[in-house]
């Protein structure tokens, strides 16, 4: 069944349609959140929150723009909300940066993976959002602006600054 059909069915109370929507978009939301928070368990919990919230407010989805973008905007808000709360607790907001997952292999691949993960984790939240949405989810600047609730020029400057910082963190040279 196509996406719009599933949404209509879910709105009319069909739990199977709602579950199918979750299964279709789970990886998208989970991967976005995981790259934002760099903690698998936290990402799983936040992904659950996002879907519960999205399905409870499915009526507010007007059909403007992609459903996946709508879900990503809820996810972005949930992540921001998480960091706001974490920032109020002593040391809470920095948990993601150096909380290396139990690395027991040191292959070239895993080292590079960790380099990118740590570099992303050190970007500011808006810059990280912009970079992740652009490069991992292939969103256009207009879509990034829509998902993050920023205007186009702000989204553009966040992406640009994010790439400049990423370049420095990954030890690159020249203009990004």
Partner 1 sequence: MSKEIWRDPDGGREEYDRLKGILMKYNVPEVQGKELEGRAVSIMANLTLVEAKSQWRQRVLGRLVTLLIFGAVILAFYFLWGKGLPMW
Residue 19, interface with partner 1 (CB under 8 A)?
yes
Q: With binding defined as CB under 8 A, does residue 131 bind partner 1?
A: yes
Q: Is residue 97 a contact residue for partner 1 (CB under 8 A)?
A: no
Buried b (16+ CB within 10 A) or exposed e, 138-149: ebebebbbbbbe
User: Whole-angstrom distance between the N-terminal and C-terminal Cα of the chain?
Assistant: 42
170 binds partner 1 (CB under 8 A): yes
Tokens of 173: 């040279």
By CB under 8 A, the count of residues binding partner 1 is 38
Residue 61 engages partner 1 in binding (rule: CB under 8 A) = no
Question: Between residues 91 and 122, which has the closer beta carbon with respect to partner 1?
Answer: 122
If the CB atoms of residues 33 and 145 are measured against partner 1, the closer one turns out to be 33
Q: Which tokens in the block code for residue 154?
A: 């702000």
Q: Does 26 bind partner 1 (CB under 8 A)?
A: yes
Q: Is 117 in the site for partner 1 (CB under 8 A)?
A: yes
Q: Is 173 in the site for partner 1 (CB under 8 A)?
A: yes
Closest to partner 1 by CB, 87 or 175? 175
What is the CA angle 72-74-76, rounded to 5?
65
Q: Does residue number 116 form part of the binding site for partner 1 (CB under 8 A)?
A: yes
Task: Find the helix packing angle between 108-121 and 152-169, rounded to 10°.
Answer: 130
Least separation in angstroms between residue 90's CB and partner 1 is 29
- Residues 6 or more apart from 99 whose CB is under 8 A from it? 38, 39
Residue nearer to partner 1 on the CB measure, 149 or 172: 172
**8 Å CB contact between 87 and 124:** no
């Amino acid at each position: 069944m196509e996406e719009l059909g599933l949404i209509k069915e879910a709105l009319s109370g069909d739990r199977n349609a709602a579950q199918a929507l979750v299964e279709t978009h789970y990886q998208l939301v989970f991967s976005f959140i995981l790259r934002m928070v760099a903690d698998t368990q936290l990402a799983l919990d936040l992904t659950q929150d996002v879907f519960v919230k999205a399905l409870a407010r499915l009526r507010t989805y007007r059909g403007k723009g992609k459903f996946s973008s709508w879900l990503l905007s809820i996810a972005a808000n949930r992540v921001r909300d998480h960091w706001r709360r974490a920032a109020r607790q002593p040391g809470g907001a920095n948990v993601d940066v150096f909380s290396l997952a139990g690395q027991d292999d040191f292959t070239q691949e895993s080292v590079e993976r960790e380099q990118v993960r740590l570099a992303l984790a050190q970007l500011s939240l808006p810059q990280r959002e912009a970079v992740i949405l652009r490069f991992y989810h292939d969103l256009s600047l207009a879509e990034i602006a829509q998902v993050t609730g920023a205007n186009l020029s702000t989204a553009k400057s966040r992406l640009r600054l994010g790439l400049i910082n990423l370049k420095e963190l990954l030890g690159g040279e020249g203009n990004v």
